[in-house]
Amino acid sequence: GESVGLHLPTLSVQEGDNSIINCAYSNSASDYFIWYKQESGKGPQFIIDIRSNMDKRQGQRVTVLLNKTVKHLSLQIAATQPGDSAVYFCAENREGQGGKLIFGQGTELSVKP
């Protein structure tokens, strides 16, 4: 069946440290991946995306790594701040699926001051 899974449901880091959130996907045909941040009481917000023809993509304080060999992607957040506390989701889209996003379970990131 379809699945995009996360290994760790919770992650606690110290402010200023780097955070790494992992995600595994099951379908080798997946060609587009997105990381979302969801704060309490809000909808998912786009953070960064990556296509399957890339291994790495960087944004402001965030980096996404894609390893197609083991069907794994990760989100790295540099110098984690209290405002980064949220639930993070990876989502997958496959060409021809009409904009359908398949979400992983989610990881709750807690930043300790």
| Interacting residue ranges for other proteins, rule: CB under 8 A | 32, 34, 38, 41-46, 49, 87, 89, 91, 93, 97-103, 105-106
Q: How far is the CB of 98 from other proteins (least distance, A)?
A: 4
Name which of 83 and 113 has its Cβ closer to other proteins. Answer: 83
Q: How far is the CB of 79 from other proteins (least distance, A)?
A: 26
Collapsing DSSP states into helix, strand and coil, what is residue 84? helix
- The Cα 89–Cα 87 span in angstroms is 7
Partners of 89 in the beta sheet?
36
45 within 8 A of 36, measured Cβ to Cβ = yes
What's the alpha-carbon Rg for the chain, to the nearest Å? 13
Collapsing DSSP states into helix, strand and coil, what is residue 100? coil
Q: How far is the CB of 99 from other proteins (least distance, A)?
A: 5
Name which of 53 and 69 has its Cβ closer to other proteins. Answer: 53
